[in-house]
Each structure stands twice: as C-alpha cells, then as structure tokens.
A and B are shown apart, each in its own frame.
Chain A
C-alpha cells in the first residue's frame, strides 16, 4: 500500500515538474517583462551600472542574505567540527 502511494506521489511530482519545465519561458527568446523592467530602470532606481549587482543586492536582496547565511553556517560548522575532533584526539 505504501509503495503504491509512493509511486503515485512520485508520478504526480514528475508530471508537475515536466509541466512546469514545458510551460517555462523560452530561454533567451524574447526577453520577459521583468528583464525589460530591470534593464531599463536599474540605473535610475538603484544608481547602478551593473545590473547583476543591482539584482543581487537590491531587487533580490533577501536571496543574497540567505546566501550569506549559508556561508556563515558552513564556516561555523567546519570550525566547530574540527575543534571537537581535535579535543577528542587529545583526551580520548
């Protein structure tokens, strides 16, 4: 029973993903409204020549905040892990 449900869920998920991929905007072919808006207005709104930087730090700033959080968590994890291993080595 559980296997049937799992297969059913998998098929539904794959169908949704394939439908989403087929419905997606064609890559690079005519630019969407959002691209046009950002290319036309990023210099006036964010005083920024680099549209990529404007998108990263202004329009999609929350995404960059998450990226920075991921980096912070990774560094904290590595330092904690190596320190714990060193302590364990010293007095087993």
Chain B
C-alpha cells in the first residue's frame, strides 16, 4: 500500500479510466479502438488500483473466480454471436437492417452513428469483457503470488 496522496489520486482517477475504457469498447465500430484496446485500458486501471492499494486490499472486492466467470461468459457470447449467423455462414452479420444496431451508414465519410454495425458492437462488448476479466485476473494472480498472499480457492 502506497501513501495517502497516491491512494486518493488513484481513487479519483479510476472513474475516468473506466469511462474512457468503456467508451473505447462501445465505440469500436465508429472510431479507432475496439474490444481489445478498451479492455487493456480498463485492465491498466485495475493495475493502478493494485499498485496504489496493494493486492490484499483489492482481493477483498475482486475475486478471481468471478473474473473467470466473466471471461468465460465473454467468450461464450462471442462464439454465440458467431454461431447465431449460422443460417447463412459462420460469422455472418445477421443484424444488418434490423432496428437493433442495424442502421446502415451512407457510403463514404459521414459523422457516424452508434446504432450501426450489426453484431460488431456486441462482439466488441464480448471481447472487451473477456480482455478486462482475463488481464485483471492475470495481474491479480501475479500480484498475490509475488506478495506471498493466499490465493482464493
């Protein structure tokens, strides 16, 4: 655990890191970025918390079993979205044209609309969940191991 100044600043900063990471994930089909990049941003926020507060403090609220469940759920959503388009072909974008994320943007440069992209925003979200949970679990496990703490069974 670091000094009180570092802890306070990290406590204030984590909100902005989380918001920026979720923004990058959910706008992956409009702006540069996507699930992997946004997930890495959120996981780096978790790393900041671990550095500031120590892994024993973080272990109380962030359990590895829950992180594993979230990661597996993200992978299942991803593969499920891929299989849902199986009527035509694997990874078919079956939501194009429907009201749910299905608006088709005009060809060429345009301002961009979040309600476009078909299954791609949902896949970005699934991959983002996966990367957030996976990287956080790895970093937490390594921090707990190096500090000699007991890992949750």
Contacts and interface: CB of A to CB of B under 8 A. Distances in A.
Interface in A9-37: none
B124 A57 contact: yes
Interface of B: 28-32, 34, 36, 64, 68, 71-72, 75, 78-79, 82, 90-91, 93, 96-97, 102-108, 110, 112, 116-120, 123-124, 127, 130-131, 134-135, 137-138, 141-142, 144-145, 150-151
B112 A49 contact: yes
B38 to A, nearest CB: 12
B118 A48 contact: yes
Most interface-central of B32, B105, B108, B123 (chain A CB within 10 A): B123
Interface of A: 40, 43-50, 52-54, 56-58, 61-62, 64-65, 67-68, 71-72, 74-75, 78-79, 82-83, 85-86
29 contacts: A43-B105, A43-B107, A44-B107, A45-B96, A46-B118, A47-B102, A47-B105, A47-B116, A48-B29, A48-B116, A48-B117, A48-B118, A48-B120, A52-B32, A53-B28, A53-B117, A54-B29, A61-B90, A64-B123, A64-B127, A67-B36, A68-B130, A71-B131, A71-B134, A72-B75, A75-B71, A79-B68, A82-B144, A83-B151
